[in-house]
A = this chain, B = another copy of it.
Amino acid sequence: METFSDGVFAIDITLLTFQLKAPGLKAATSNHTLALALFQQWPDYIAYFISFATIFIIWLNHHRMYNVIQRSDVRFMFYNGLLLLLVSIIPFTTSLLADYIDTPANQLSSGLYMLLFAGISWALFIMWNYATDNYRLLKRPAADVRIQNVRSSLLISTITYTIAAGVAVLVPFLSILMGLAIVFYLSRLKYHRAKVV
């Protein structure tokens, strides 16, 4: 199951590349016009970077979670399928953000972008809660696993993403900064007391 999920994560993170396209300029181009055209694609670069970093961190947390989980059941697989479904939509909201961040529709596009991340963070939270409830699917001695700590951290990131989606209505760029902050926050989350990366 983890191999299959890893595959989906790896493909989604590379599919983002399609967002980056060589500008289609007419015949008589100079270095100057190409530089200008590349510069005008800045929303693509920002959206690409944030989505890449976010998928990478979500994969990292998913990987750490599976490190301490021993068993699986039909319901947990359903939750995992839901997570993969949401992660697979990231390239779509990324192109929405990149195409509309410099238009009057930037509030809706950045709001949806953050809302999807909130949903993904919430799916991770549900997975972790289900797996650790009564130590249901845990692998190692439960005492070593930071159950409560991870629970509250995933809840915090879900709430912050939701707030960021709300902030997008007022100041789209601020919501994007909040998204980057959560990526940094989630990168430091530890699921196990022992040294397992």
Contact = CB atoms under 8 A, between A and B. Distances in A.
- Could you say which interface size class chain A belongs to? 35 or more
B12 A14 contact: yes
Contact of A52 (B3, B34, B88): B88
Nearest to A81: B56
A165 B4 CA distance: 30
Given A14-B15, A53-B85, A76-B197, 16 more contacts: A1-B197, A3-B6, A4-B10, A7-B7, A7-B9, A20-B89, A22-B95, A22-B96, A24-B99, A29-B104, A31-B104, A31-B105, A31-B108, A33-B105, A56-B84, A74-B187
Interface of A: 1, 3-4, 6-17, 20-22, 24-25, 27-31, 33-35, 38, 49, 52-53, 56, 59-60, 63, 71-74, 76-78, 81, 84-85, 88-89, 91-92, 95-96, 98-100, 103-105, 107-109, 187-188, 195, 197
